[in-house]
Amino acid sequence: MATIKNIHDYSDIINLPYKKSKKYKHMSQKDRAAQFAPFAALTGHKQLIHETQRITEEKREIDENKQQILNQKLNYFIETKEKVKITYFKKDARKAGGSYQTMIQSIKKLDMNNKIITLQNKQIINLSDIYEIEAIDHND
């Protein structure tokens, strides 16, 4: 009667020489692994978990008073062409919400027809996405 111990005992074959096939070329580990890829039931699962863990936030609404102040700052900084610290909402491409981005750049152009600004680095930001504009403290 076979027991569990001798089912897993490979001592009779462990030291036998390996015979290479004359018919088939030796397969690389990558190619061997690729044969079993279709059996990976959870393909993409790790990426999905990572995506689910990635946090987004809702866009904050600003009141009319703050909007007027932002418009005045925009006009001032366009005229002076000085660098500003601008915080804006960037919509997430894959999930609801997005994140607030901050960059230091000068404003190149204001397009009121399309309601966008173009920064010196050619990045375009919707006016409705701007949350804050601040002058850069040159003492830093």
| Residue type, position 98, single letter | G
| Residue pLDDT, tens place only, 15-53 | 888 888 888 888 888 888 887 776 666 777 778 878 777
pLDDT tens-place string over residues 74-107: 989 988 889 999 999 999 988 889 999 999 999 9
Distance CA 70, CA 75 (A): 9
Name the pTM for this structure. Answer: 0.62
For position 9, what pLDDT does the model report? 78
* DSSP-assigned states of every residue in 50-114: HHHHS--BPPPP--HHHHHHHHHHHHHHHHH--EEEEEEEEE-SSSSSEEEEEEEEEEEEEETTT
Q: Read off the tokens for 34.
A: 């690729």
- Position 52 scores a pLDDT of 78
Q: How many CA atoms lie within 13 A of 48 on its CB side?
A: 4
> Distance between CA atoms of 72 and 67, rounded to whole angstroms?
9
Predicted local distance difference test score (pLDDT) of residue 139: 55
Q: Which residue type does 82 have?
A: E
**Are the C-beta atoms of residues 56 and 98 closer than 8 Å to each other?**
yes
Strands, sheet with 130-135, edge to edge from the N-terminal-most edge strand: 124-126, 116-119, 98-111, 83-91, 130-135
